[in-house]
Amino acid sequence: TIPDGVIADKLAALTPRGTYATVKGAIHFSFLQECKPGGAELLKESGEVDPICADGGSRSRADLHAELVGLIRSDLQRAFKDPM
């Protein structure tokens, strides 16, 4: 689930040549680096309530990051190949 404050589909539609993509299995915190072993437990013990180390469950964070890198690389290549 994407928090309302960061949903960007409408913004992308207003941007010249803007695109919007979703990544299956990702949650809001999936963009963060992979947590170190024991990181989730440490956060929970310190009172953190957000699932910072958890993702959608079906894919690893490394797999999600690999897909994001591909999407970003593709978009940057498109933008620099065909500037406005």
The string of pLDDT tens digits covering residues 6-20 is 788 888 888 888 888
The string of pLDDT tens digits covering residues 47-72 is 999 889 988 778 999 999 999 999 99
Q: Which tokens sit at 78?
A: 């498109």
* pTM of structure: 0.75
- Percent of residues, the chain, with pLDDT higher than 70: 96
3 state SS of 65: helix
C-alpha pair distances (Å), 29 with each of 16, 76, 79: 28, 23, 27
